[in-house]
Amino acid sequence: MNKITAAITAVGAYVPDFVLSNKVLETMVDTNDEWITTRTGIKERRILKDADKGTSYLAIQAAQDLIAKANIDPLEIDMIIMATATPDMMVASTGVYVATEIGATNAFAYDLQAACSSFLYGMSTAAAYVQSGRYKKVLLIGADKMSSIVDYTDRATCIIFGDGAGAVLFEPNYEGLGLQDEYLRSDGVGRDFLKIPAGGSLIPPSEETVKNRQHNIMQDGKTVFKYAVTNMADASELILQRNNLTNQDVDWLVPHQANKRIIDATAGRLELDESKVLVNIERYGNTTSGTLPLVLADFENKLKKGDNVIFAAFGGGFTWGSIYLKWAYDKK
């Protein structure tokens, strides 16, 4: 019997209709389009304006898009991994609710939280379940409603983040396609540099924490940038070396969409031509767990069976890593 590998066999995505452009942000905080574009590469981001809809809504839309395009029965899905940094609520898993809402009532589900690396870590987890032979269809969703935790008076963070979701289906493959190798790392030194200070068990919610805006995301931009550039590039380079790949062997780099300068630095370290780097940050900003699957959805037409695809991400904590995957299908 051939060895089981875990391959992505379908992709889905969803972004809200409302567009928050740099021009609109100019009316909200002391910033301008040129400053934002030069430093981040972002032109606009999507925002889920409905106050009564959370991350689960984004995730459900992305999952249903995948299910419709792949023409699969939700009852065939064995498990769902919900990669997110903005769950609907504490304790009650967002993934569990999503599974029920999309009709995947035979699946078990849970949330996975590793900040902007959540989807990358989720790829590793989903692949491991498939490779075990116990599960045939694992749905991995990356979704975040970042607007729910952004302070729109803080120009350092409000220019970066947007809302969005993407989903991929992992299934067994017997042709050697799918996930080939991974290099995943974390370092608790990052705890103080990218966080939401209050709302957890350390600093429970109070009138004071709300007044002090401690429930919004805060980051030390320079420190995060430095660590991200170094670690995303190092991880990607190591994956190539470990698998005896040259820059000519790489068909596509799928980097986390946090900052165009970080993406360029990672591609530069690998000496990849710009045409091989998949980027959509200018339209969505940083959707955290949603960035990697949104890139796959946007560029699915370009991906061909057998293509060597390198994924790279960096997130709060700190968390980071790189995954080498062989693409498994041509889009029909």
pLDDT tens-digit readout, 222-239:
999 999 999 999 999 999
For the entire predicted model, the pTM comes to 0.96
Catalytic residue among 158, 231, 256, 259: 256
Helix (H, G, I), strand (E, B) or coil at 249: coil
Is residue 111 within 8 Å of residue 87, measured between CB atoms?
Answer: yes
H or E element at residue 11: strand 5-14
Main-chain phi, psi angles of 253, to 5 degrees: -105, 125
Residue 215 is a catalytic residue: no
Per-residue pLDDT at 1 exceeds 60: no
Confidence (pLDDT) at 221: 86
Question: 266 falls in which pLDDT band (50, 70, 90)?
Answer: very high
Chain segment 17-26, per-residue pLDDT in tens: 999 999 999 9
Confidence (pLDDT) at 2: 77
Alpha-carbon separation of residue 31 from 147, 153, 155, 231, 318 (angstroms): 18, 11, 7, 29, 28
Helices (H) and strands (E) in the chain, counts: 11, 13
CA gap 23, 13 in Å, rounded: 26
Is residue 171 within 8 Å of residue 6, measured between CB atoms?
Answer: yes
Per-residue pLDDT at 122 exceeds 70: yes
Handedness of CA 309, 310, 315, 317 (dihedral sign): positive
CA gap 238, 269 in Å, rounded: 11
**What domains can be seen in the chain, in order of their start residue?**
5-177 (3.40.47.10), 179-327 (3.40.47.10)
Sheet containing 178-186: give its strands across: 178-186, 319-326, 308-315, 252-255
Span 82-100, average pLDDT:
97
Confidence (pLDDT) at 135: 97
Per-residue pLDDT at 188 exceeds 90: yes
Catalytic residue among 116, 158, 231, 259: 116
Per-residue pLDDT at 284 exceeds 60: yes
Question: 136 falls in which pLDDT band (50, 70, 90)?
Answer: very high
Helix (H, G, I), strand (E, B) or coil at 187: coil
Catalytic residue among 173, 231, 259, 286: 286
Residue 286 is a catalytic residue: yes
Question: 332 falls in which pLDDT band (50, 70, 90)?
Answer: confident
Q: What is the mean pLDDT of the chain?
A: 96
Residue found by looking up tokens 């995954």 in the block: 323
Helix locations, the chain, DSSP H:
22-25, 33-40, 55-70, 94-101, 118-131, 155-158, 207-211, 221-242, 260-269, 281-284, 291-298
Chain segment 288-312, per-residue pLDDT in tens: 999 999 999 999 999 999 999 999 9
